[in-house]
Amino acid sequence: MVDGVARVVLSVDDAEALRPGEVLVTPVTDVAWTPLFPRAAAVVTDIGAPLSHAAIVARELGIPAVVGCGDATSRLRTGDLVRVDGEQGTVEVLEQGSAPGPPGQSS
């Protein structure tokens, strides 16, 4: 389990915005995302399963991950303080952030 600030990243092309210790929130990951995982405190994805890329890489690195949320990128905003519990498979917003989300993300 980890508490951290969420960073919604909709494309690997925008991934340089992820700061060390932030919670990576993204639609889905593949091999191109792997270099970002050591920078993330946790990973949350819309799409995924126990054997998906995000779940396997996070498990290998000891990073909490909750995959297959369905709507994490629309419900969480960059700047939200969240608690990610990989064992229970839960993501809880502890405090809403004030940072704007990525382009196209509603308020």
Strand segments, DSSP code E, in the chain are: 2-8, 23-26, 42-45, 65-66, 81-85, 90-95
In percent, the amount of the chain with pLDDT more than 70 equals 92
Burial degree of 75 (CB within 10 A; 0-12, 13-18, 19+): middle
Question: Is 53 a residue of the active site?
Answer: yes
One of 29, 37, 45, 53 is an active-site residue; which one? 53
Residue 102 lies in a domain: no
Residue 101 lies in a domain: no
Residue 107 lies in a domain: no
Residues 61-80 have a mean pLDDT of 97
Residue 63 lies in a domain: yes
Q: What is the pLDDT of residues 9-58, one digit of tens each?
A: 999 999 999 999 999 999 999 999 999 999 999 999 999 999 999 999 99
CA proximity to 47, closest of 12, 15, 73: 73
CATH of residue 25's domain is: 3.50.30.10
* Residue 2 C-beta-side C-alpha neighbours within 13 Å: 19
State the residue range of the domain holding 6.
2-95
The pTM for the full model equals 0.89
Q: What is the pLDDT of residues 44-55, one digit of tens each?
A: 999 999 999 999
Residue 31 lies in a domain: yes
Residue 100: band (very low, low, confident or very high) from pLDDT cuts 50, 70, 90 = low
Tell me how far apart the alpha carbons of residues 50 and 78 are, in angstroms, rounded to a whole number.
Answer: 25
Residue 103 lies in a domain: no
Residue 42 lies in a domain: yes
What's the total number of domains in the chain? Answer: 1
